Amino acid sequence: MVVVILGIASGVAVPYFASSMKGAKLRVSARMVLSTHRQTQCQAILRGRQYALLFDERKGTLETVSVEVEDEPDPFFSAATGGGGGNRNALGSGLRLGGGLGGGTARAAADESAAKATSENVRSFEDGVAITDFRGGKEVAGLHYVMYYPNGTCTPYTVTLSDGQRSTRIEVDPVTGKAKTASR
């Protein structure tokens, strides 16, 4: 009788634990995005420079990049106020990366200005977890990126991760930096 009860219990428990492990990989990857978001925001504030957070769908990685820009007027700010001031977004609409990121130094250029971008941290998503949707930020050649600024703000973005069965959406408020998660 005890053997039958143990057999039934293990027959119920094994599928539960198997699906729980898949859910755990999705939770770990979502927590990695959240912690990297917060770390990147803090680094931008503490070091007083711009950072970019790169989401690479093909490689399944998340990379933090320090961006050094020359202090030159932002053309929009200058036109709006009639004066100079502010740093130019180094990874603006015309991002070009040379030499590749991923543990090295790259050159990024926005329009006519150039900036030095240095990879500081690369993390991989758990096996079986992938980015299924990305909204906000910018995209260049399948690489999504968002900017973090020294004043604590960032580019607004929403990223959805999935393990094939479940998904988690992470939405970041650009002003407060608060991230909301929703699982499906």
Cβ atoms of residues 89 and 53 within 8 Å? no
Two tokens at 2?
């005890």
Cβ atoms of residues 44 and 36 within 8 Å? no
Q: What is the pLDDT, as a whole number, of residue 3?
A: 72
Going from the C-alpha of 17 to that of each of 30, 117, 161, the distances in angstroms are 20, 43, 21
Cβ atoms of residues 34 and 170 within 8 Å? yes
> What residue has token string 């961006």?
67
Q: What is the pLDDT, as a whole number, of residue 114?
A: 59
**CATH topology classification for 2-183:** minor pseudopilin epsh fold (3.55.40)
Longest distance between any two alpha carbons in the chain, whole Å: 86
Pairing of strands 167-172, 50-56: unpaired
In 3D space, the residue among 31, 35, 37 whose CA is nearest the CA of residue 53 turns out to be 37
Q: What is the pLDDT, as a whole number, of residue 110?
A: 39
Average pLDDT per consecutive 10 residues, the chain (184 residues; last block may be shorter): 70 62 87 96 96 94 89 41 40 42 40 69 94 92 92 95 95 93 89
Q: What is the pLDDT, as a whole number, of residue 105?
A: 35
- pTM, whole model, 2 decimals? 0.70
Q: What is the pLDDT, as a whole number, of residue 93?
A: 39
Cβ atoms of residues 123 and 153 within 8 Å? no
In 3D space, the residue among 165, 89, 154, 160 whose CA is nearest the CA of residue 128 turns out to be 165
Q: What is the pLDDT, as a whole number, of residue 27?
A: 95
Q: What is the pLDDT, as a whole number, of residue 90?
A: 44
Q: What is the pLDDT, as a whole number, of residue 9?
A: 67
Side chain identity, residue 104: G
Which string of b and e fits 73-105 if b means at least 16 CB within 10 Å?
ebeeeeeeeeeeebbbbbbbeebebeeebeeee
Calculated CA dihedral for residues 101, 107, 112, 113, nearest 10 degrees: 110
* DSSP SS3 for 132: strand
Q: What is the pLDDT, as a whole number, of residue 184?
A: 83
Cβ atoms of residues 40 and 62 within 8 Å? no
